[in-house]
Amino acid sequence: MQYGTVRLRSPEEEKAPRQRGRGDTLLTLLTLLLLALGLVMVFSASFPSAYYDLQGETGGNAAWYFLRQLCYAALGVGAMFVCSRIPLRLYEKLALPSLAAAVLLLALVPLVGVKVNGARRWISLGITTFQPSELAKLAVVLSFSARMAALGDRMSGFREGILPFALVLALLAGLLVLEPHFSATVIIFALAAVLLFAGGAKLGWFIGGGALMAVGGTVAYLAFPYVQDRLSAWRDPFSDLTGDGWQVVQSLYAIGSGGLTGLGLGRSRQKYLYLPEEHNDFIFAVICEELGFLGALTVLLLFALLIIRGYNIALRSVDRFGFLTAVGITSLLAIQTLLNMAVCTNLLPCTGIALPFFSYGGTALLIQMAEMGILLSVSREIPGNPL
């Protein structure tokens, strides 16, 4: 039986010990290169807000955000290499426990979570905070992949193939709306759609799911005033320059100021307390301003190469779980990258979506590096894996 370009193992072969080679070198190099560029840009984008210390958090240390991100990056590299050594069978066994843990933590957020900018999305761990929605994304990849791998050709049915996934998505969406965290909800739904398509779900279910999402979006628009404000600012951000349109307008100013070659590394003007979240959700605008169109295009090409390599690993994987896991992790990377850049350029309404490997944030960076480690683990089970 063929799967991608590699023959699927028979049930007897699945029970036998698997030969594990080395991880994919190109994937590793691209990941580390993006991480290094991300660290440089975090320092460049964050030092004005860290120095002026408007919230009394950094003590005026201009390198405060950078040093914390550097620590998380070092831990993330370690997590990537550890995760790359763990066999896929263990990830398959941990799929449901990881989903249960994500649901439990999401349920705790409204009760004990830390509130920032009107949203309660983080759980305080004392020295740092943890964002359970990041774990939920990975848990969806692992649990959906494990379930679909077990179902095989039965994915086309409703009771076995669609209903369990729909119930999980409804539960996660309900918990995320309580925070509220609509961007994470959109990402998880998009991720689930990709996994279900790759797993063999019928096209009709996607049409029905799209209709339900349209209804849900309408309800969110009517029930949450800030959703209406975001959409109004998206349609015409210059109509409310001092209100909801401020962030998008400053992002567009930054992108436009960069021109072809940029103002130069460290020379952004909008990061001097004009552009909110300049080292987080809107760091791509600073990249465009400082490195210009050519620099932004280089970052885009690096992400494209990483995404292509991830799908290449998926196509060469030796079993269904490995294929779906690689597709899920790679698609999650692609979805978040495209959505972040679309928000920064006002192609989509403004919402909190981080740029992988670049945006400041410990939880997201650690889990992203762990995801790359899992992708490397998939590559280690490909016979004769090149590079």
- What pLDDT was estimated at residue 272? 93
- What pLDDT was estimated at residue 125? 80
Contact in structure between 20 and 86 (CB atoms under 8 Å)? no
- In the chain, where the domains are located: 21-50+68-378
- What pLDDT was estimated at residue 385? 63
Residues 161-192 as b/e (b if ≥16 CB within 10 A, e otherwise) read: bbeebbebbeebbebbbebbbbbbbbbbbbbb
d(CA 291, CA 255): 10
- What pLDDT was estimated at residue 59? 76
Q: What are phi and psi of 125, to 5 degrees?
A: -110, 15
d(CA 369, CA 379): 15
- What pLDDT was estimated at residue 1? 37
- What pLDDT was estimated at residue 121? 82
- What pLDDT was estimated at residue 3? 44
Question: Within a 10 A sphere around the Cβ of 139, how many other Cβ atoms?
Answer: 26
- What pLDDT was estimated at residue 66? 95
- What pLDDT was estimated at residue 377? 96
Show pLDDT as tens, one digit a residue, over the chain (387 residues).
Answer: 344 444 445 555 555 555 667 789 999 999 999 999 999 999 999 999 998 876 667 778 899 999 999 999 999 999 999 999 999 999 999 999 999 999 999 999 988 887 776 677 888 887 778 889 999 999 999 999 999 998 877 776 677 778 889 899 999 999 998 888 888 999 999 999 999 989 887 777 677 777 777 777 777 666 766 677 777 777 888 877 777 788 899 999 999 999 999 999 999 999 998 999 899 999 999 999 999 999 999 999 999 999 999 999 999 998 999 999 999 999 999 999 999 999 999 998 888 889 999 999 888 999 999 999 999 999 999 886 655
- What pLDDT was estimated at residue 96? 95
